[in-house]
Structure 1
Amino acid sequence: MKKFDVRRKRLSPVLKKILLVMKLTTFILMISMLHVSATVYSQATKLSLNLREVTIKEVLQEIESMSKFRFIYQNEEVDLNKKINASFKNEVIENILNKIFEGENIDYSITATSLILIKPDLKTGRSRQWRDNETYQPKMISGSVTDSGGQPLPGVTVVVKGTTQGTVTNSDGEYSLPNVSGNDVLVFSFVGMVTEEFSCPEGNVLNVTLQPDDLQVEEVVVTALGLKRQEKSLGYGVSKVGEEEISSASGASVLNSIQGKVAGLEMNSSQGGLGSSNRVVLRGNSSITGNNQPLYIVDGVPINNSTIEESVGVWDRKDFGSSAMDINPDDIESITVLKGPNAAALYGSRAQNGAIVITTKSKGAKDGIGVEFSTTNMFDMITEQSLPKFQNQYGQGRYVNNVATYDLINGSTSWGPKMEGQTFESWSGFQDNLKYAPHPDNVKDFFETGLRTTNTLSFSKSGANGFTRVSYTNLYAKGTLPNNDQNRHNLFIKSQVDLAQWLRLDAKANFITQRIDGGTWLGEATSNTIYGLFMLPRNVDLNELKKFNYQKTPNDPFTGTQMNPYWTTDYDELINKKNRFLGYAKLDFDISSKFSGFVRAGTDYSNHIVEERYNRGHKQLSTGRWIMNQYNTIETNLDALFTYSQRFVDLSMNANIGGNIRYEYSDKSFNQGDEVINEGFWNVQSFLTKSASYNYYKKQVNSLYGTINLGYRDYLYFDASFRNDWSSTLPKDNRSYFYPAFSLAFLANELINTEKINLLKLRLGYAKVGNDTDPYRLATTFGINPLINHNGIPLMDVAEIPGVRDLKPELTTSIESGVELKAFQNRLLLDFNYYWQSTENQILETPVSPATGYKAKLINAGEVRNSGIEIALGGVPVRGNGLEWETTFTFAKNTTEIVELSEGIENQVLSNLENLAGGIQIVAETGKNGYGKIFGKPLKVNGQYQLTTQNTFRTGVDPVELGNFNPDAVIGWLNNFSYKRFSLKFLVSGKIGGDILNATKAELSDAGVTKNTLDYREGGIVVEGVDSQGNPITANMNAQNYWAGLADYGEPWVVDATNISLKEASLAYTFKMSPNAFIRSVRFSVNAYNLLFLYRDKEARDIDPNQTWGVGNGQGYSLYNMPSASSYGFALNVKF
């Protein structure tokens, strides 16, 4: 049960443990950095092999898999198909190679981390590097190596054929190779590219373009538990977004970098100002009342992605951001999206909705010391496309009868007469008279030009024994709302060091501190700046609003619940502060070539303080109020994994077994003061009335899991995994739950003798995942309620929902199949996926009789099924002459079916908006497409308007289904054009189908401020319909009554949410640098984000259908959301 205590707590034992973990992690990192100095790797490394009847090539591959050695050779010069026996124990590499090539007349040369094998000159018995000086005329050859699109290729090996003499291109793709004779041949080789040979040029410059070797499909992706796997061996669908795509997306958070690029991913953004949350859903909503967002993993360690939303009912809500947005995009190397239970089952219950796996950068682009600086500067602007369409003909006032007689009265509506420059009493009291004239830009001019500037400086050091990377990032942002600012500091340290031949230490520490001032509440909250701004009568001048001490007059425009928007930005202070630590320490051990493993401890700790300051004079809190909520959250993961690998002639096997202990702790302290005594001193002692509370929860999940991966002749792969969880939040008899997963991948291209098909993979998977519940739901709880007291002493009250002792875990079963094709040298790419999944034993709240003293009870019931397809179609339509066009189109369609709820219940309310548009409910209802239905009052019944004899619309109409907030399909189209050193990218993303309640337009139409209300202003309208008995009736309405009547119905405001937008665009240029220059690389780009809508339904052109109202399950409506901004700016990256 939840614990409440009004006393202030000292630092808890849990927080002391957190501080200890942070200190230990920092100490380990410092020790790691001291050990990064290079040693002679070949002498320090001892290997053990036990291979029989294998080729020399297989032996070399085994050595590469268990060490840092890499082999460079020419197939025609080195016979690698000879079969040998290789049995060695703790031998250095020189001894192993001498034995392998015994009698083969092979010479080799060893560098710190690689080998170059050559065949001696048969005539002299010596390698060519020892030829007589008479035929050797040395000179320096330099140049650059690029890909087919003209982009530089770093890390290309350049070798004089037949010798050990060579070099590697730098980060700008440039090289210099001394002592090359006129008769030499240079060999250029790079992973994923066709190896090319060129004769020594007559001059000193040789520029080379390498073409992709599309027969190589060995791309590696990070899968569950941080395990790296060859993508071709996976029997389930994954999507990967690389560093370049992440850096080119100049959105407000790292999540913006994957929007529109991953089939099956839907993202909406909350709009409460800087730092607001994003809602991400993979393959539809599977839980009715639980969390539907994926699990986030950073460097193999799960992190907390909770969202803090302060709310008082459905109307007063503030979004203080989700935790995944704290991750710095400049520190990310790649993002892998595991879309469903098949891919993410090993992560356990929280991954039933998939997982987003983030891998951070490790070392620099070269060995030794590297320095990198990057800056991104974006300007945010509110444009007309995101604002309501306001009318500018009629001002403040109302109708006084049905024949268009107007009155200038006290009120916030714009139903007065035409604005023709008449004079009227100033509503502010500062002037005797004002001109009754329109102010067409009184909304747009309120917003400011926002700024987001991000500066990152990183240092890296790499050597034979490890690496260290340290980066510091500062993000400063000024929002489009006045006094809305964000400042975030991010210190990132990551290090890896070889402690011994068989032992490696890997550690990371990420310190984040952030402060956000300002922002806005959501909905019809009095302090919602947008609510007060949009409702302004069309004759109100912004300059008058800035004079806060205006007097009350008969023409006061703020007679409703809204406030002067300048007051909410200047005198309602929202302060959002966060300190966070993410870190881990990991020991990897390689006992032998077959046995390896790791042990790891990771933690995610955050201290989050949300402070609200309401000055004296607030419309609802006239005597002032101060609120401080402080949240401490900690998640600690202790895990271990042991791996056994074995390769036979036709069969490869990899088995893992491991376990995890996950501990979660969270507490919240609440302090509130009312009736200010000492203005300007924001603490509880400055207020007459005080209240406080404290609550916390703890949770632990213990897990065991294992996998086995089998490969047959490199064309058939079978994976099996299991996991068993024991959750502290479930009753003893149901605490343990087991779930398996299986997948199969078949590479048909290995059996097809054609060069046109590079990869043709068929895959099939099955998985089952369990999910527990929140803490303290097994027993009925009591707590101290500061809002009720006896003689000033707070009383305890009972929870609204009684405990349930027989709760069971939710269970999700998933089946997935797909086809992946790469053809015509990767000029054509296709990835198709079909999935079906069912989530049973939903943990639901069902209403009970008020006579019980409770609001609802918990039950296990219901089944939700999701099925759909995902398609990624792409390729390279143009490649040649330095020009390349790479394109990818993604399409995903999901259908959600509510198979059943609890007995006797046909729907579950996700969001109840009883005072909006006559009463709106967002529900989950049994049947196909039953999740996310929008119910409200229809405008017509049986084709007839429902009227009264008082010339108004009848309100007593039963609600019906008006739409569904889920889109029919989600699409994305990513394009990348490159020409020599230029690159141009753009992303188009969109949603097809789905509906949204444009509640903003309904409210503004009631107030008469939007263009649509110009209809019927002069003369009114005659509406024909029926009365409550079905008898024909006619109603004569003026415009004000007509639009006010429509605003009380849901049907006119539920609109098509289909939209297609130009989401990203970037034009970049990479400067050519001298190979020996101090500056190794310079890249400059101009970027734009959220540019414009290419298509929106005409009834939704005053809102952004991609915005959400918080991150919960009750989506599908827009109510005074912060207008979305378009961003334009530039970025600069310099490497030294």
Structure 2
Amino acid sequence: MPGNVGDFSGFTMQFVNDLISEFKTQLTRNVSLSSALGVTFRENSSKTLFAQANGLVLTDLYNIGNSLSNPIAGEENFKARQAGAYGEARLGFKDFLYLHVTGRNDWRSILSKTNRSFFYPSVDVSLIITDAFPALAQSGFLQTLKLRGGYSKVGQVNLGNMFNLGAYSLKSTFSQTSGYPYSSGAGFTLNDKMVAAEIKPEMTLGSEAGLDFELGPLSLSGGVTFYKTNTMNQTISVMVSTATGYQSLTTNVGEVKNEGIESYLHITPLKLPNGLEVSLSANYTFNSNKVLSLSDQADQLTLASEGSTARILAKVGSPFPLLQVTQYNRDPQGRIIVNPITGYPATDGSFHNVGITNPPHILGLNGTIKFKKLRLYALLEYRNGHFIYNSISTGYDFSGAGVRTAWYNRDRFVIPNSSYKNAEGEYVPNTNITVRSGGADFWTDATRNRGIGENYANSAGFWKLREVSLRYDLPASILSKTNFIKGVTMSVQGRNLFIWVPKSNLYTDPEYSQNGIESNAVGFTNLAQTPPARYYGATLSFTF
């Protein structure tokens, strides 16, 4: 029986050169200076080759030459270069006051000649209070107190991915297509991505201030940082009308502001002479952002959409990325309006804000228990304040596998919190008008259920047991009988073990996105993906 065979090969290469010089001196008895200058050069390249043959002549001979037709072949080559020159200087006064200044200029080959060179500096200052005033540390309670602040400008190029390196991203490229325009001749087709002229590097201006401390009792340490950043010229891909012959446009857009807090805390509440030690750590971050501007032509840009029911966009005055969905028509009191004859709801197809799709709140908790050679570690994480559109659920409803389709035993039911317009033109509560059908006619219909985005938008918050591990180090007395093994460690571990989600999330772990990890348009899931899996493992390691 005819079949096909394909071969693929590929490689990536990175070539790096660095030259660094350092200089340190004591300018006076109380003032020190350390500085560094450096240059760096990096070249990344990748190449892939594939060949495929259809219509095999001999069964079970999987060879490209064993074909009734000419093989199909393809090749991709990418190369990108980056050069940088940088310097830094640090002034210290009596080992408790420090001023640090940096500057760097990069040249990136994947940008146009007018924009490939960009400079970004930074400055920060720190003051160790307990070293400046030694009496504070003599009490034994406060061991270290440090104040710090800084201002920076950071440049980056956000083009391409780890495979194509961003090379040739400024132009629409051609690829060869089999059978186009004629099977007897070669043909090339243009890709579906437009690129705005003169793409610039992204620039982020940031300022921060914070403190770090260590307290003697219970080995308590911690810190907090307040920050604010403004990012200009973000490089994003936005959707365009397919009437243009393209599907997306890569361009620089406006300005986004982020501000928030980062904090951490570590404590060792138990440490006994017999080797038993318990340590606990926590970190918390909160981030609030807003789109300040986009382009002169638009105050919102669509990054991704799920049919006509949901979309992810950047919108001036709103957080980023913003999830919008369609909703049922509602009366002034917020009740769903139903048809007084059929009991069915409807929508006008307009979009409504749901919220941000990145978590504003992230809390991490971890603990370690040590006893001699045994170590138990656990990591728990909480994320909340963001939302997700589960288009995976629309497929379940269509097939009848979704739990929503069985809420009313697939009988006729009254739409919860609904109303209808009476003969006087007033909206009155609906207590007895049921939907005409509670079976497939309702749950599979796009105008009544599956095409209403609010039915599948929910909180993406969760508590997750990310990791638990147990490790044991063999005693040195056992290993002393060997002359070459210095250490043996045995461990078992599990990751992504348990998750707790809100009741509104009926189906899935929200920590993945159908648009890929490199897309700004996080917040969609679908049936074509595999959600994060639970992992178990064991490790045996030797030190020689």
CA pair 632-878 structure 1, distance change in 2 beyond 3 A? same
- For residue 971 of structure 1, give the secondary structure of its aligned residue in structure 2: strand
Quick one: distance in 2 between partners of 1:739 and 1:987?
Answer: 37
Give the structure 1 partner of residue 103 of structure 2. Answer: 722
Question: Structure 1, residues 370-414: CA drift from partner, whole Å, max 9, x if none?
Answer: xxxxxxxxxxxxxxxxxxxxxxxxxxxxxxxxxxxxxxxxxxxxx
Question: Structure 1, residues 549-579: CA drift from partner, whole Å, max 9, x if none?
Answer: xxxxxxxxxxxxxxxxxxxxxxxxxxxxxxx
Alpha-carbon distance, 1:706 to partner:
0.8
Quick one: distance in 2 between partners of 1:1069 and 1:856?
Answer: 53
Give 1:1118's aligned amino acid: T
Alpha-carbon distance, 1:778 to partner:
4.9
The answer to whether the 8 Å contact 1:870/1:890 transfers is yes
Q: Which of 495, 502, 506 is the aligned partner of 1:1097?
A: 502
Q: Which of 642, 649, 674 is the aligned partner of 2:29?
A: 649
- For residue 1055 of structure 1, give the secondary structure of its aligned residue in structure 2: strand
Q: Percent identity?
A: 25
Alpha-carbon distance, 1:750 to partner:
0.6
- For residue 349 of structure 2, give the secondary structure of its aligned residue in structure 1: coil
Give the structure 1 partner of residue 323 of structure 2. Answer: 934
Quick one: distance in 1 between partners of 2:131 and 2:98?
Answer: 13
Quick one: distance in 2 between partners of 1:722 and 1:814?
Answer: 15
Q: What is the TM-score when the length of structure 2 is the normalising length?
A: 0.83
Give the structure 2 partner of residue 1119 of structure 1. Answer: 526
Give 2:530's aligned amino acid: M
Give the structure 2 partner of residue 735 of structure 1. Answer: 116
Give the structure 2 partner of residue 1063 of structure 1. Answer: 466
Give the structure 1 partner of residue 439 of structure 2. Answer: 1039
Alpha-carbon distance, 1:847 to partner:
6.6
Give the structure 1 partner of residue 412 of structure 2. Answer: 1020
Alpha-carbon distance, 1:991 to partner:
1.0
CA pair 898-674 structure 1, distance change in 2 beyond 3 A? farther
CA pair 682-927 structure 1, distance change in 2 beyond 3 A? farther
Quick one: distance in 2 between partners of 1:818 and 1:1056?
Answer: 32
Quick one: distance in 1 between partners of 2:240 and 2:394?
Answer: 34
Alpha-carbon distance, 1:850 to partner:
7.0
Question: Structure 1, residues 522-565: CA drift from partner, whole Å, max 9, x if none?
Answer: xxxxxxxxxxxxxxxxxxxxxxxxxxxxxxxxxxxxxxxxxxxx
Please say if 1:999 is aligned against 2:391: yes
Give 1:768's aligned amino acid: K
The answer to whether the 8 Å contact 1:830/1:871 transfers is yes
Quick one: distance in 2 between partners of 1:952 and 1:687?
Answer: 58
The answer to whether the 8 Å contact 1:1022/1:1036 transfers is no
| CA RMSD after TM alignment | 3.3
More relative contact order in 1 or in 2 (CA 8 Å, sep 6+)?
A: 1
- For residue 1004 of structure 1, give the secondary structure of its aligned residue in structure 2: helix
Quick one: distance in 1 between partners of 2:226 and 2:439?
Answer: 52
Q: What is the TM-score when the length of structure 1 is the normalising length?
A: 0.42
Q: Which runs of 5+ in 2 are unaligned?
A: 160-165, 428-432
The answer to whether the 8 Å contact 1:764/1:817 transfers is yes
Quick one: distance in 1 between partners of 2:535 and 2:244?
Answer: 54
Give the structure 1 partner of residue 430 of structure 2. Answer: none
Quick one: distance in 1 between partners of 2:399 and 2:146?
Answer: 59
Question: Structure 1, residues 821-844: CA drift from partner, whole Å, max 9, x if none?
Answer: 111167111121122212212335
Quick one: distance in 1 between partners of 2:440 and 2:241?
Answer: 42
Alpha-carbon distance, 1:990 to partner:
2.0
Q: Which of 276, 290, 308 is the aligned partner of 1:897?
A: 290
Please say if 1:691 is aligned against 2:95: no
Quick one: distance in 2 between partners of 1:1106 and 1:803?
Answer: 30
Alpha-carbon distance, 1:707 to partner:
1.0
- For residue 894 of structure 1, give the secondary structure of its aligned residue in structure 2: strand
Quick one: distance in 1 between partners of 2:56 and 2:419?
Answer: 55
Give 1:1126's aligned amino acid: R
CA pair 985-727 structure 1, distance change in 2 beyond 3 A? closer
Give the structure 2 partner of residue 765 of structure 1. Answer: 150
CA pair 747-670 structure 1, distance change in 2 beyond 3 A? same
Give the structure 2 partner of residue 923 of structure 1. Answer: 313
Q: How does 1:940-951 map to 2 (within 5 A)?
A: 940-942=329-331, 943-945=335-337
Give 2:32's aligned amino acid: S
The answer to whether the 8 Å contact 2:488/2:540 transfers is yes
- For residue 793 of structure 1, give the secondary structure of its aligned residue in structure 2: coil
Please say if 1:867 is aligned against 2:262: no
Alpha-carbon distance, 1:950 to partner:
6.8
Higher-Rg structure is 1
Quick one: distance in 1 between partners of 2:444 and 2:240?
Answer: 36
Give 1:667's aligned amino acid: K
Alpha-carbon distance, 1:1118 to partner:
2.8
Alpha-carbon distance, 1:792 to partner:
2.7
Quick one: distance in 2 between partners of 1:953 and 1:682?
Answer: 57
Alpha-carbon distance, 1:722 to partner:
0.8
Quick one: distance in 2 between partners of 1:800 and 1:1135?
Answer: 53
Quick one: distance in 1 between partners of 2:434 and 2:92?
Answer: 78
CA pair 982-854 structure 1, distance change in 2 beyond 3 A? closer
CA pair 857-1092 structure 1, distance change in 2 beyond 3 A? closer
The answer to whether the 8 Å contact 2:176/2:187 transfers is yes
Q: Report the count of equivalent residues.
A: 509
Give 2:266's aligned amino acid: G
Question: Structure 1, residues 253-275: CA drift from partner, whole Å, max 9, x if none?
Answer: xxxxxxxxxxxxxxxxxxxxxxx
The answer to whether the 8 Å contact 1:673/1:690 transfers is yes
CA pair 1117-1031 structure 1, distance change in 2 beyond 3 A? farther
Quick one: distance in 1 between partners of 2:338 and 2:53?
Answer: 49
Quick one: distance in 2 between partners of 1:1104 and 1:846?
Answer: 27
Give 2:465's aligned amino acid: L
Q: How does 1:470-509 map to 2 (within 5 A)?
A: none
Quick one: distance in 2 between partners of 1:625 and 1:666?
Answer: 27
Give 1:924's aligned amino acid: A
- For residue 114 of structure 2, give the secondary structure of its aligned residue in structure 1: helix
CA pair 1057-1002 structure 1, distance change in 2 beyond 3 A? same
- For residue 730 of structure 1, give the secondary structure of its aligned residue in structure 2: coil
Structure (1 or 2) with the greater helix fraction: 1
Give the structure 1 partner of residue 452 of structure 2. Answer: 1049
CA pair 911-1088 structure 1, distance change in 2 beyond 3 A? same
Give 1:920's aligned amino acid: A
- For residue 842 of structure 1, give the secondary structure of its aligned residue in structure 2: strand
Alpha-carbon distance, 1:1018 to partner:
5.6
CA pair 852-816 structure 1, distance change in 2 beyond 3 A? same
CA pair 952-683 structure 1, distance change in 2 beyond 3 A? farther
Alpha-carbon distance, 1:974 to partner:
1.0
CA pair 896-672 structure 1, distance change in 2 beyond 3 A? farther
Quick one: distance in 2 between partners of 1:1003 and 1:851?
Answer: 29
Quick one: distance in 1 between partners of 2:97 and 2:299?
Answer: 46
Give 1:1002's aligned amino acid: T
Quick one: distance in 2 between partners of 1:630 and 1:947?
Answer: 60
Please say if 1:636 is aligned against 2:25: no
Give the structure 2 partner of residue 238 of structure 1. Answer: none
- For residue 941 of structure 1, give the secondary structure of its aligned residue in structure 2: coil
Quick one: distance in 2 between partners of 1:851 and 1:986?
Answer: 53
Give 1:828's aligned amino acid: L
Give 1:1017's aligned amino acid: N
Q: Which runs of 5+ in 1 are unaligned?
A: 1-615, 617-622
Please say if 1:749 is aligned against 2:130: yes
CA pair 770-786 structure 1, distance change in 2 beyond 3 A? farther
Quick one: distance in 1 between partners of 2:102 and 2:62?
Answer: 55
Give the structure 1 partner of residue 355 of structure 2. Answer: 963
The answer to whether the 8 Å contact 1:964/1:994 transfers is yes
Give 2:303's aligned amino acid: L
Structure (1 or 2) with the greater strand fraction: 2
Question: Structure 1, residues 563-605: CA drift from partner, whole Å, max 9, x if none?
Answer: xxxxxxxxxxxxxxxxxxxxxxxxxxxxxxxxxxxxxxxxxxx
Give 1:838's aligned amino acid: N
The answer to whether the 8 Å contact 1:785/1:795 transfers is yes
